[in-house]
Chains A and B, each alone.
Chain A
Amino acid sequence: DTGVSQDPRHKITKRGQNVTFRCDPISEHNRLYWYRQTLGQGPEFLTYFQNEAQLEKSRLLSDRFSAERPKGSFSTLEIQRTEQGDSAMYLCASSFWTLNTGELFFGEGSRLTVL
């Protein structure tokens, strides 16, 4: 399968624990986005990378959240000291940025439940 893959698909953790999600984009895609989606809502932008550079972070991304994309390939999203409000689906998307449309391709998401 050559689509966007995310791991793990489901994560249950206790409040205060750290969690890390991984996203493997489509191989030739140079842009990678992280979104958060809560139940019954549309996805909200968190951050994005062009190659290995993190170019924008939403104000939703508190200092407990950190994202990396070493070598411009896969990306990780870490949440430290999780809170119940962090429970959500974390979506990764990738695109090949051009001056034109640059369609985003989404993974199936990583669902986080904080107890």
Chain B
Amino acid sequence: AQTVTQSQPEMSVQEAETVTLSCTYDTSESDYYLFWYKQPPSRQMILVIRQEAYKQQNATENRFSVNFQKAAKSFSLKISDSQLGDAAMYFCAYRSAQGAQKLVFGQGTRLTINP
């Protein structure tokens, strides 16, 4: 079974600075997808960024980018120019390319933005 581990329960960053959230995963599959989801307090989870395992190029979405290291099974999220609205729980998630395609989530990292 696949597992996802986020070793940083909490992180904080000064507004306008850069922060990196860590994620590692374990799988024997070669074809899969990785995601970062953001869950603001009392609001629904929304997709931040997605990475296909077969792509070597790291995904970027505006201020959000990932460092995908397939051999190391590492998938970190970098948030540049942090904004107050970035404060939330961030979840790393794995999804197989086959079968149910259900998401397997990590434990989450609570990100605080200091003004």
Contacts and interface: CB of A to CB of B under 8 A. Distances in A.
Interface of A: 3-4, 31, 33, 35, 40-45, 48, 55-56, 91, 93, 95, 97, 101-104, 106-109
Interface string B73-115: 0000000000000000001010000001111111110000000
A55 B101 CA distance: 11
Contact of A44 (B9, B42, B52, B105): B105
Interface of B: 4, 6, 9, 33, 37, 42-47, 50, 52, 91, 93, 100-108
A42 B105 contact: yes
Contacts of B37: 106
Contacts of B93: 42
Contacts of B4: 42
A48 B44 contact: no
Contacts of B101: 31, 95, 97, 102
B61 to A, nearest CB: 13
A48 B102 contact: yes
Contacts of B103: 33, 35, 43, 45, 93, 104
B107 A56 contact: no
